[in-house]
Structure 1
């Protein structure tokens, strides 16, 4: 999934997806994903399953903790889509193409520092997702046609949920990304590189830091990656202390300006979630500490 933001972003590996092409991105901007290690089943963490008291928290996060709701919502669409794809393939006993299971993917522009500090940057498995499809010989023309048709079905399922919120969410992410250029945030970010150096991490800025994280993940260096995650949580905290206050104020203004759309989401989004849960026998869930 390409990075979709107008602000400078850290280097990151592609986000884990349910099937290749299944998480088609809209034109609306959104924050980039934090690095996720490829080619292995991501870790599991505790989850919650109850929807937040304010549905808007799933769509318009203003804190790292609230992004757990956002991750759950996005991952739920991929989980329902993946389930639909597998059911479609099973009708003709067509094998699924190799792919990673749906995973919770975090946002770098609104970092969840406590979660990162405890769990690292790796992708987190979504409960109820199937195991990755094993490597098989390339599918024949007939099987490829079935796979393409079934993946189209999956995209339709995912979009039936995303279309309810993606435009409004994209507008919020675009405004939030502008905070990176705020003078107070720019000043706070100047301390990030020196903080890394004080912790003996050889990275001058976020781009270099996440490139280093990616290398640790690619090498399977779990201990090294977790150490970097702890350092990131420490060094980014002063930045988030500044940006978090600005983000909360911006979020209040944004919600006030979009009161009608948010009110409509409060009815439509839970109804669509429950419909997909019933139809595909899946359950929405959200990562928790």
Structure 2
């Protein structure tokens, strides 16, 4: 699966090279290092526009080739997590058991297919999915309550899996092929301008690893102004490389869709039907980030 851009809340997990700010804080606390003063609370998650309009071509939602299309992918992934969380809370509510500590569903962006206009406008902070329950007040249970929590969490996970099973196979194959662009000579050459471009903007980060480590530090410090400035710098300095990747990715995607035509035809029928069924069952609605 592709690496994901970090954000301050509800990251699906740390990427191989990019740690979510909240995860980094937790790792530091467990490392045995001298105790440090608590970091300031993260700033409020900014509101962004969303849309519930499904794309005319469902493949755009499953097999993104542009940053704009990844907004559809984020919405699909987040919808499964929203349905799972709603099912979890319904299961626990029937048994009068509190929900275990967990972050609410959020949109998760992809760094292999960066949505530069969105990052430029909204920064790196994550966006909680509309309709998600607030995680505040959740607490772990003990004994029988813990067993109920475990059973309900499995039931919720099964709801998410019932959606993902429709598309995860072909999507995984696409992301594997798309990841080959990381080492494409044209892409590597274009990425050579990233560090110098940042330096010209007085950002001390020679490469992406160093850059996102700096983003993490800004987020942990609650430095909204600094984080947004870094987002604008990233959008500007990554554009030359992303222009090259986008050209290559679109050609690769065209070939991939031709090779997987029958799977995509099936998705265009099965996936919308499953989404609508989950919307009716859990009184939720799919949504996608928008500019």
Distance 2:16 2:162 in 1: 22
Secondary structure of 2:68 counterpart: coil
Residue 11 of structure 1 and its aligned partner are, at CA, apart by 8.1
Q: Which runs of 5+ in 1 are unaligned?
A: 18-22, 26-30
Q: Is the 8 A contact 1:61 1:67 kept in 2?
A: yes
Question: Which one of the candidate residues 160, 165, 168 is aligned to 1:166?
Answer: 168
Root-mean-square deviation (Å):
2.1
Measured at CA, do residues 231 and 260 of structure 1 come closer, stay the same or move farther in structure 2, by a change above 3 Å? same
Q: Is the 8 A contact 1:216 1:224 kept in 2?
A: yes
Question: Which one of the candidate residues 63, 75, 91 is aligned to 1:72?
Answer: 75
Residue 44 of structure 1 and its aligned partner are, at CA, apart by 2.4
CA deviation map 1:36-85 (0-9, x unaligned)? 55486633211010100100001000000000000000000000000000
Q: Does 1:279 align with 2:251?
A: no
TM-score for both structures, normalised by structure 2: 0.88
Partner of 2:87: 84
Partner of 1:122: 125
Distance 2:104 2:179 in 1: 29
Partner of 1:20: none
Q: Does 1:52 align with 2:46?
A: no
Distance 1:135 1:33 in 2: 30
Distance 1:190 1:215 in 2: 24
Distance 1:15 1:171 in 2: 28
Distance 1:269 1:202 in 2: 45
Distance 1:10 1:49 in 2: 23
Partner of 1:16: 10
Distance 1:157 1:121 in 2: 29
Q: Which runs of 5+ in 2 are unaligned?
A: 23-40
Question: Which one of the candidate residues 100, 116, 119 is aligned to 1:97?
Answer: 100
Secondary structure of 2:206 counterpart: coil
